[in-house]
Amino acid sequence: MMKATRGSLLGIEHLEAGEILKILTLARRMNPQKPQTLLRGKKVLLLFYEASTRTRSSFEIAAKSLGAMTTLVLSSGSSIEKGESLLDTGYTLRGVGADVIVMRHPHAGAPHLMAQHLDIPVINAGDGMHEHPSQALLDAYTILRRKKTFKGLQIAIVGDIYHSRVARSNIHLLSKFGAKITLAGPPELLPETAATLAPGLHIVRTAEEAVRGADVVMVLRVQKERLAGMKISLQDYIARYQITLQRLKLAKKDALLMHPGPIIRGLELTWEVADCPQSMIVEEVRNGVIVRMAILARALGKAK
Ligand code: NCD
């Protein structure tokens, strides 16, 4: 078994702060409006075993904006349906000429396994309930554009933390840089063990406590597709945790409202909150293209 190829991006937990800053700095030089040839001739394989809109389209546009070719393989309609294993799919994609594989998979660790067996970089576009490193990097980029530093920032993360790879990656990233993170959600979606994810994490049971005085309010979707057997009353959830304008007002005046998407208006946040001036939801998506350009350039050794 080999080590993951240099340039792979498997998670934030084991990524050094210096590497994170390098990617964020490189992202500042990227511009999808100006087509470039940095990755001309490179083949970017997008391998998606789970639904995706933002992550998939932005990796594709990022690759094409740098002059690379892209091919999309979805689990439905491919030989994965015929029972081909993950690694055999990887060897096949390497065989057709992939220079990098961007993959999303329902199981934690799937991209790590792929990376250990292939001699090309693998980028984790979300693995089960584990990590979503490119989302944390684009969220960090979005915050830094507005807040200058992470140090001392109060970040409230509200919602389905348990199922959220976005929350996990964001917690790892933001705590490496000295942000103060408070998590809020019902006990089923926010077990006490979440506190062990990073030192200094604070768990509270009301949205109000988390949001009060926050610089950033991150809202998460209730991941109905992963609830399997959990009894969550959406009515209760809405009453206690939905981010409304009234709750958002408890945060600092210039607080940022963030959400990785997809948003479910009327559930984890209200329509007004989704469209309010503090909402970064569309900006996060826009920054996602820039940050993924940097991730791909780094993966293919062009991060100069
Ligand atoms: C998230 C995901 O797939 O982890 N979306 C995303 O990539 N922006 C969050 C979610 O599905 O709720």
Spell out the domain ranges in the chain.
Answer: 17-130+285-299, 134-282
Asked if residue 56 has pLDDT above 90, the reply is yes
The predicted structure's pLDDT at residue 301: 87
Nearest to 14 by CA among 224, 173, 127: 173
CATH H superfamily, domain 134-282: Aspartate/ornithine carbamoyltransferase (3.40.50.1370)
In angstroms, the CA 194 to CA 183 distance is 9
Domains 17-130+285-299 and 134-282 share a fold: yes
Instruction: Using most ligand atoms within 8 A of CB, pick from 135, 283, 286 the residue to mutate for ligand 1.
Output: 135
Residue 52 has pLDDT above 60, yes or no: yes
User: What residue type is 48 in one-letter code?
Assistant: F
Closest ligand 1 atom to Cα of 104 = 3
- State the CATH architecture for 17-130+285-299: 3-Layer(aba) Sandwich (3.40)
Q: How confident is the model at residue 290, as a pLDDT?
A: 98
Q: Ligand 1: distance of its center to the CA of 276 in Å?
A: 21
Strand-by-strand arrangement of the 202-204 sheet: 202-204, 180-184, 154-158, 216-219, 256-258
Cα dihedral 136→142→146→148 (10° resolution): 50
In the chain, pLDDT over 70 holds for what percent of residues? 99
Pocket test for ligand 1, best of 129, 132, 286 (most atoms within 8 A of CB): 132
| pLDDT tens digits, one per residue of 6-32 | 999 999 999 999 999 999 999 999 999
Asked if the model's pLDDT at residue 300 lies above 90, the reply is yes
Measured in Å, residue 304 CA sits from the centre of ligand 1 at: 30
- Tell me the whole-structure pTM to 2 decimals: 0.97
Average pLDDT of span 118-141:
98
User: Is pLDDT above 60 for 46?
Assistant: yes
Query: Which ligand 1 atom sits nearest the alpha carbon of residue 54?
Result: 8
Phi, psi of 90 (to 5 degrees): -60, -45
* Per-residue model confidence (pLDDT) at position 35: 81
Provide the pLDDT for residue 86: 94
User: Is the pLDDT at 178 greater than 70, yes or no?
Assistant: yes
Query: To the nearest whole percent, how much of the chain has pLDDT over 90?
Result: 88
Q: In this model, does residue 303 exceed pLDDT 80?
A: no
- Locate the ligand 1 atom nearest the alpha carbon of residue 125 and give its number: 7
